[in-house]
Every structure is written in C-alpha cells, then in structure tokens.
Amino acid sequence: NEIRLFCPATIANVACGFDVLGVCLDTVGDEMLIRKSPIKGIRITKITGANLPLETTKNVAGVAAQSLLDSLECPYGFEIEIYKKIKAGSGIGSSAASAAGAVFGINHLLGSPYTQTQLIAFAMQGEALASGAPHADNVAPALMGGFTLVRSYTPLDVLSLPSPEHLFATVIHPQIEVKTADARAVLKQQIPLAKAIQQWGNLGGLVSGLYEKDYDLIARSLEDVIVEPIRSVLIPGFKEVKEAALKQGALGSGISGSGPSIFALSKGKEQAIAVGEAMQRVYTPMGVAFDIHISRI
Ligand code: HSE
C-alpha cells in the first residue's frame, strides 16, 4: 500500500535538443514516499530539503498527481512525502523529478493502468506549473531512464535512445538559482533559417552518434547554436567553464536544462572526473560555490 521511490535528476535539454532531448542521471535524485489513504484526493504531508508549498495545487508533484487522479474513478486517495535532494532552479530537473515520481508511484499503487506516454503527459502538467510551459524533455528521461527524444508533442510521441557504454556526464552547479520561466522568457520566438539548419544537423548527428557508438560524431554534434548563446549570459563564468571542459578532453559541453548547471559529456569515468576538476578550477578562484555530479548516462 505504499511505495518508496528514487526520482532521478535529468539533463534536458542536451545541447542541440531544446525541449526534445534529455538524459537521466543516476547519481543524484530525490526520494519520495507515496501511500494509499482512505481520504480521497492528493495530500502532500511532508517536504524536507526545500521550502516548497504543501498545497496540492501549488506543488508540481501535487498537480501532476491530481491530473492523473482526475482521469479515473478512485475510491481512495494518496499521501505523498517528498525528500528533496535536487535544488530548485539548478537546471537538472528538480520539478520534473517530483512530477515524474508522483505519477510513477501512484500508477504503480493503482496496478499500473497507464502507459509510459500517458504518465509523461500527466507529469507535464506539473512541469507546466513550474516553468509556464508543459515541456516533456525532463519528465520523459526521469520516467524512462537513459536518453529520450520527444519526437512530437501533439500527439505525444517519445522515443528511448541507446547510450554507448562509456558515456559519462559531469554536471557542475554554481549555487545561484535560475528560474526556468525566466530562462524561457529571454528566448526569441523566431529562428534564422541558417541557425535552424545547423541545429537540426547537430541533433541528427547526435542521435546517430548514440546509435553508432561514435564518440567523435557525438563530439562534433554537441553544440547548441540557438538557445545557449542567449541563456549563457545568465550563468557566471559559462564560457570559461565550457572552454576548460573542452580543453580537458570533454566531447562537448553546454547548459543543463535552463541552467545554471553546466554539463559536459566524456568518454570514460576517469575523463569525466578530470573534466569536473578542470571545471572546478574555474569556479574556485572566482569564489563561486558549486556542487558537482558525475554519472554514467
Ligand atoms: N527544456 C527546458 C528548457 C527544460 O530548457 O527550458 C527546463 O527545465
């Protein structure tokens, strides 16, 4: 009658895949406990690790869970306890972890009536509350693991992509908060055709690189020419951190989600650790406090 969950952090977007390409991190995430309750509806009874509202309609886990519950007749309700480990506004899918965990757990306790795609759609309602836009690139990998591609939003069509064995992510999180809604508000609504051509070329190359286990192709394709140039001004030392990662041998580097976290992908764990050390060497003299995570992806 209850389920305890690990709700993973995610990098999404991954570089050239704005709002479509995400990947799950298995070394950082929240915990959640969900139990059936004789009281109908959703109640969030406890949150530790973050100052977030318990009120269902104001909490991403609550909104996502309620949207699932509204879609069926259920004679009982659910209580949710959230143990946040992912900092809000960090760029590694804090709200998505909560939304995905809530719908996954409740679906399990109901006997799994919903498909993964349906769960993504419910979880997106929580994301809409957090960012003002119901994007799926974080909730999809949080629910499905690995790399995911949102091929289409209407209708929702999400694909799992393979990941070559030696691919690792380094994520450095400078301790400032960037609200996703703000990082979306600065974006332009029109894209010059030449930039679009570069971006979809890179996205196709990256997907092919993942299938072909072609690390050089992954490296050539890991560039976002549309969103990163605009958003990177919100992140202290972004250019220097990215340069340090590339100089250390990372395959590529970019903004994780809407920032301020910066990710780099590397071939091999040793390389990912060395890249993390190079990134740290930029922030330490600047006096910027940070967290760092290394994860096989
Ligand atoms: N794809 C979204 C964005 C993710 O970059 O705005 C934010 O969590």
pLDDT at 241: 97
pLDDT digits (tens, 9 = 90+) for 146-158: 999 999 999 999 9
Question: What residues pair up with 41 in beta bridges, in sequence order?
Answer: 77
The answer, as to whether pTM is greater than 0.90, is yes
Residue 48 annotated to the active site: no
pLDDT band at 35 (very low <50, low <70, confident <90, very high): very high
State in Å: Cα 51 to ligand 1 middle. Answer: 22
Question: 19-31, pLDDT tens digit by residue?
Answer: 999 999 999 999 9
For 132, residues 6+ apart whose C-beta sits below 8 A from its C-beta are 180, 181, 184
Average pLDDT over every residue of 230-236: 93
> In terms of Cα–Cα distance, which of 75, 2, 66, 67 is closest to 40?
75
Mean pLDDT in residue range 220-235 = 96
What are the residues whose beta carbons fall under 8 Å from the beta carbon of 183, sequence distance 6 or more?
A: 231, 234, 258, 259
User: Helices (H) and strands (E) in the chain — how many of each?
Assistant: 10, 10
Report how far residue 74's alpha carbon sits from residue 61's, in angstroms, rounded to the nearest whole number: 18
Which one of 10, 127, 148, 170 is the catalytic residue? 127
Q: Which CA distances in Å does 279 have to 89, 133, 173, 284?
A: 20, 31, 10, 9
Res 149: pLDDT: 97
Query: For residue 225, which phi and psi values (nearest 5 degrees)?
Result: -95, 0
Rg (CA), the chain: 19
User: What residue owns the CA closest to ligand 1's atom 1?
Assistant: 19
Distance CA 208, CA 38 (A): 50
- Note if 240 is an active site residue: no
Report which of 26, 87, 19 is spatially closest to residue 257, judged by C-alpha positions: 19
For residue 141, what pLDDT is reported?
Answer: 97
pLDDT 10s digits, 162-192: 999 999 999 999 998 888 888 989 999 999 9
Within 6 Å (CB) of ligand 1, which residues are found? 12-13, 19, 131, 135, 137-138, 180, 183-184, 257-258
225, β-bridge pairs: none
In this prediction, does ipTM exceed 0.90?
A: yes
